[in-house]
Amino acid sequence: MAQRLVLRRLFSLTPRMLPLQGQRMLPGPLAPCGPLAPHGRAFGTSAGCRSTFNVQDGSDFQDRVVNNPKPVVVDFHAQWCGPCKILGPRLEKMVAKQEGKVLMAKVDIDDHTDLAIEYEVSAVPTVLAMKNGDVVDKFVGIKDEDQLEAFLKKLIGA
């Protein structure tokens, strides 16, 4: 179990944390998606890649979610959760459609039990809408695309 956790964390590290020798990094919001290839083209620069990230630990959550000037949707999920496997990609797709107006943080409750307890997550999937470090909205369970769109529009004020 410990080995799997170490490997999962290693593979989920962003290139910003593990730079590849001899390659340049993209500035700004594209940095977590990957380095530039030698010919200058970027890999993984889709809107979904730029707007969705995995939370690494409590301080990462504080930096990238609580202290973020943009609204952030926080998806508390678990790998063993069937509904999470349905909601996660659906939510990522809807966040990507917002073209950077909102970000999405993914928190695995098995890896970050302390965050789940702090934000009173009692079932998964639980999705929080956060603005300026405060929870402004929340839902538990699966939603269809229309409901997710309404949830996001309410969060960004559109």
Helix (H) or strand (E) holding 36: none
pLDDT tens string 19-54 = 444 433 333 333 344 333 344 444 444 444 578 999
User: Model confidence over 63-120: pLDDT tens digits?
Assistant: 999 999 999 999 999 999 999 999 999 999 999 999 999 999 999 999 999 999 999 9
Confidence of residue 4 (pLDDT cuts 50, 70, 90): low
Q: Show the tokens assigned to 73.
A: 């949707």
Structural domain contains residue 58: yes
The residue annotated as part of the active site, out of 26, 65, 73, 81, is: 81
- C-alpha 31/C-alpha 16 separation (Å) is 6
Whether 33 is catalytic is: no
CA torsion, ordered 82, 84, 90, 92, to nearest 10 deg: -140
User: What is the number of structural domains in the chain?
Assistant: 1
Residue-level pLDDT at 153: 95
User: At 82, which CATH number?
Assistant: 3.40.30.10
Q: Is residue 126 part of a domain?
A: yes
Residue 123 lies in a domain: yes
8 inside domain: no
Q: Is-contact 107 12, C-beta < 8 A?
A: no
Residue pair 38/90 in contact by the 8 Å Cβ criterion:
no
pLDDT at 152 over 50: yes
Say which of 55, 72, 73, 84 is annotated catalytic.
Answer: 84
Q: Which residues pair with 126 in a beta bridge?
A: 76, 140
Beta bridge partners of 2: none
Domain-located, residue 26: no
Question: Is 49 assigned a catalytic role?
Answer: no
Domain residue limits at 127:
52-156
